[in-house]
Structure 1
Amino acid sequence: MYPFIYLASQSPRRSQLLTQLGVQHELLLAGPEEDAESLEEHLSGESPETYVQRVTHLKLLAALQRRKARGLPEAPVLCADTTVALGQTIYAKPLDADDAVRMLQALSGQTHGVLTAVAIGLNEKVAQACSESNVTFARMSESEIRAYVASGEPMGKAGAYAVQGLAAAHISRISGSYTGIMGLPLFETAQLLKSLT
């Protein structure tokens, strides 16, 4: 595995998970001149899996350009994107508290998919993987949903929840990759880093 990589993600969880893997990294974040949000636009008829992989690839291309433009030393660049899907419906990050309530009402009592795509680029070489897991929420009452949203935790999270936070009290079952649900599947990430050596 590489002794050092760039992480093109604002997620503190992804940074913590890379540290858990023993991978030294430095953040390579978009500047104000970049329209990073537009990369996450969902195309009509696009499946959740196609969407998350396309968005991750676009983020990686932007980050590779960023490294070059800033004249930073060469090292692998890692990007990831997580999306929550109930059937073919994608639940991105909530726009506001009302949007978070709407999402959690839809996920309550249901099993949904969590897809995290990871892409790593070095020079012209790009390696990509996608982890798919399932999360089952117990039925949540209106007051439980509103109390959780009031905690502020759902904001900035795909599907309006964090598996490693307060939401764990409402999750009855998980299958797949716990770290993938958190935002960076460590097994797939380690395999991708190995493939670049």
Structure 2
Amino acid sequence: MTASITDPALVLGSASPRRRELIARLGIEPSAVCPADIDETPRNAELPRVYAVRMAREKAEAVATEGQFILAGDTVVAAGRRILPKTENEVSARACLKLLSGRRHRVLSAIALKYPDGKICEKLSETIVRFKRLSASEMDAYIAGGEWQGKAGGYAIQGSAEGLIASIHGSHSGVVGLPLFETRALLKSAGFSLG
């Protein structure tokens, strides 16, 4: 199924190849990809849910286009009230894996759809993920593979980390970076013909 030729133009406000692959599963080919450049620093005592939605909204607002819809998103890994970083080095990746080992955590995937008139609609997907208890050798192997680079919480579920996850309750696509159920609902309500 592909989007109708009469569907409005959609700009994807993200450089993530995973988000582009995921939206293609809905039959949508963005007319442009315009990643938003915003400050992603959490505010003091900001809760993970609030932060995820704020980031998606601010990314949608930051993309300047005329007469087009803009879809932006943000994925946050949270352990309790703590927002885990996008890991940029082995030390932070290992710290995240140690924290997540053997316990449940939440992955909050927010999306925001900005209409041509400036109106913004948002949705949030919450998924519970549980890692097995990781041995030192499993952590070492995962770190050596490099998949953790730039990933929220230090892992990518679509890679080898999937073999370390004991359970997932919620949206697999949300953990990857774009919750397709919620995205489809937002696009349909905006008039996109997705069947």
Tell me whether the two structures share a fold, i.e. TM-score over 0.5: yes
1:90-115 per-residue CA deviation (whole Å, 9 max, x = no partner) reads 11201311110110010000100000
1:194 shift after superposition: 1.4
Summarize the alignment of residues 48-127 of structure 1 with structure 2, pairs less than 5 Å apart: 48-63=48-63, 65=64, 67-68=65-66, 74-122=67-115, 123-127=117-121
1:190 shift after superposition: 0.7
Structure 1: distance between partners of 2:29 and 2:189: 18
Structure with greater proportional helix content = 1
Summarize the alignment of residues 134-173 of structure 1 with structure 2, pairs less than 5 Å apart: 134-173=128-167
Say if 2:103 and 2:132, in contact at 8 Å, map to a contact too: yes
Say if 1:4 and 1:23, in contact at 8 Å, map to a contact too: no
Say if 2:38 and 2:62, in contact at 8 Å, map to a contact too: no
1:37 shift after superposition: 5.0
Aligned partner of 1:171: which letter?
I
State whether structure 2 residue 19 is matched by structure 1 residue 14: yes
Q: In structure 2, what is the equivalent of residue 29 of structure 1?
A: 35
Aligned partner of 2:174: which letter?
G
Work out the percentage of aligned pairs sharing the same amino acid: 41
1:73-97 per-residue CA deviation (whole Å, 9 max, x = no partner) reads x221110000000100111201311
Aligned partner of 2:27: which letter?
G
Say if 1:86 and 1:112, in contact at 8 Å, map to a contact too: yes
Aligned partner of 2:43: which letter?
L
Structure 2: distance between partners of 1:50 and 1:98: 27
Secondary structure, in 3 states, of the residue corresponding to 2:25? helix
State whether structure 2 residue 45 is matched by structure 1 residue 45: yes
Structure 1: distance between partners of 2:28 and 2:85: 28
Structure 2: distance between partners of 1:149 and 1:37: 28
Q: In structure 1, what is the equivalent of residue 186 of structure 2?
A: 192
1:52 shift after superposition: 0.6
Moved over 2 A (4+): 1-4
Structure 2: distance between partners of 1:131 and 1:27: 23
Aligned partner of 2:163: which letter?
A
Instruction: Please give the TM-score of this superposition, normalised by the length of structure 2.
Output: 0.90
Residues matched between the structures, number:
184
State whether structure 2 residue 110 is matched by structure 1 residue 131: no
Q: Pick one of 169, 177, 186 that aligns with 1:183.
A: 177
Could you tell me which runs of 5 or more consecutive residues in structure 2 were left unpaired when the two chains were aligned.
none
